Amino acid sequence: MSSSYKVGETISKAVTFDAYSVRQFATLAGDMSPLHHDEDFARSTRFGGLIVSGTQYSAIMMGMVATFLTQRNAGLGLEFEFHFRKAVAVGDTVLMEWRIVTIEPSLKLKGDVISLEGHLLNGTSEVCVVARSRSLSMPKESLLAG
């Protein structure tokens, strides 16, 4: 399959996390850590306030890859890896970015395995998350039954 993607292509998204969405997402994800829910407790910690659950920003980053890769072809996530380096504070605007680093044809999977590297930078450009992804890109007809 000749890929419709190119090594070096990037996607990015800026996101600001507010306390309401952080509490709501953490609750839906089953993350009841007081660091995401209890402002008084969180203020007394080394973080100085509420922080965003890693499940929230990793889910957004995974969604970015899925949306990007399914704009031109069908796509399926194969692997995601996240390394959390620094907490993300509620109220901070972060920049999430992904870049295609390799595209490998796969006869077995009937498509291309696209590897991406990503990161999340906080408002002062500190790296909070380093990520990797491998996804399958294939013709949309490959997903049809029959």
pLDDT for the residue numbered 119: 98
Q: What share of the chain is helix, strand, coil (3-state, %, to 5)?
A: 25, 40, 35
Q: Whole-angstrom Cα distance, residue 71 to residue 92?
A: 29
Give domain 10-17+54-143's CATH architecture: Roll (3.10)
Cβ atoms 69, 136 nearer than 8 A: no
pLDDT for the residue numbered 2: 61
For the chain, the domains span 10-17+54-143
Per-residue pLDDT in tens (0 to 9) along the chain, 146 residues: 567 899 999 999 999 999 999 999 999 999 999 999 999 999 999 999 999 999 999 999 999 999 999 999 999 999 999 999 999 999 999 999 999 999 999 999 999 999 999 999 999 999 999 999 999 999 888 777 65
The tokens describing 64, both together, are 């970015």
pLDDT for the residue numbered 141: 82
pLDDT for the residue numbered 8: 98
Rg of the Cα atoms in the chain: 18
Q: Whole-angstrom Cα distance, residue 2 to residue 4?
A: 7
Q: Whole-angstrom Cα distance, residue 146 to residue 141?
A: 10
